Amino acid sequence: MKKDYHVILQIAAVFIGTIVGAGLASGQEITQFFSTYGYMSFIGIIICCFIYIIFGRIIINLSIKYNLKSYSDLIFLVNPSFVGKALDIIMGLFLVSSAAIILAGSGALLHQFFRLSPIIGIFIMAAISLYVLLMGTRGLIEINSFIVPSLSIVIITIFVLYLLFNNNVNLLYIKNIPAIKKAWLPSSLVYGGFNIFCCSGVLVPLSLEIKNKKNLFLGLTIGSIGLTILSLIINLLLILNIPYIFKYEIPLLYISNRFGRFIQSLLLLIIWLEMFSTEVSDIYSVSKSLNESINLSYKKSVFLIIAIALPVSQIGFVNLISILYPAFGILSLIFMLQCVYFYYKSNK
């Protein structure tokens, strides 16, 4: 029983760590997909929680039932036509691009705050990622088991400090903050679909290795609820600081500045760790896919993807979130709806 409890929490941590990334930890994703829609954004975040649980359960069920090994297997199972092949290629390119941009973000972050050459930051991230990735699924679980609790502690600390030093946190004040955009529901659906599709790159191989539906479902549910609580907290902090947050690439850094250098440094460390977590998850997903689709060994795939990502790591981090995320999110949502149709059709 104790062992199951430990496994369930590890699954929850991997789920949260895979989705969070530097975009959410910095506040940039929440700003663009939720905070700009005013108080209705809180409902959007809760809708995302249901998307994670419902679609996540479908992915786990399909993975175990059909013995799937990677996200490519899931894509070809649901959509074996040319569209499926195209989506598989797009997914791979997106994840590799994401890995490359995170390398660049690591270099920029260390350069900005520690005056290190960006090249040093890039190679530090690449080297540590390589070390963890060569440990396989165990490495993925271990890093998230450390990073996710650390993230939670820092975000909750900033939230509590904010509540202690500000008297304007009440429902009426929040409701009267004007929404900059109106279409909150499509934004929420796109964001939820994008995240759960990207997370399939981890959920599918995890399901193959654990094969215990009860533990997987509980881990997914706990992870979804935990992620939703963190997102709601971050969204509240951001909404209370509109319009000032729009001037910063790392909105949460602006909010944490008032609490001193120590809290700011902790947040920067968390953002870097979340960059690291996303880097490992992205490369892990593509490596598992290459291992299955072209029979290239997992370790060789890891080296290949890092070798490709290093020279490509020159695209802006914010550009990825504002342009590629919505476009890929729409494709992801369409595919997840196909998964629902296939799942219920196969169970008849």
Interacting residues of 112 by C-beta distance below 8 A, sequence separation 6+: none
**Which residue segment(s) compose the domain that 36 sits in?**
2-346
Four-CA torsion 292, 298, 302, 305, nearest 10 degrees = -20
In this predicted structure, which of 33-47, 58-72, 153-167 has the lowest mean pLDDT? 153-167
The domain that holds 196 is classified in CATH as 1.10.4160.10
pLDDT band at 107 (very low <50, low <70, confident <90, very high): confident
| Residue 17, both tokens | 């760590």
Residue, of 320 and 133, whose pLDDT is higher: 133
Q: Residue 343, class by beta-carbon neighbours within 10 Å (0-12 exposed, 13-18 middle, 19+ buried)?
A: middle
pLDDT band at 314 (very low <50, low <70, confident <90, very high): low
Number of domains composing the chain? 1
Instruction: Check whether 1 has a pLDDT greater than 70.
Output: no
The model carries a pTM of 0.88
Instruction: Check whether 173 has a pLDDT greater than 80.
Output: no
Confidence (pLDDT) at 89: 85
Confidence (pLDDT) at 127: 92
How far, in Å, CA of 141 to CA of 145, rounded? 6
Question: Which residue in this structure is represented by tokens 């104790």?
Answer: 2
pLDDT band at 12 (very low <50, low <70, confident <90, very high): very high
Q: How far is CA 229 from CA 50, 92, 158, 315, in A?
A: 13, 30, 14, 31
The share of the chain scoring above pLDDT 90, in percent, equals 30
pLDDT band at 309 (very low <50, low <70, confident <90, very high): confident
Instruction: Check whether 165 has a pLDDT greater than 80.
Output: yes
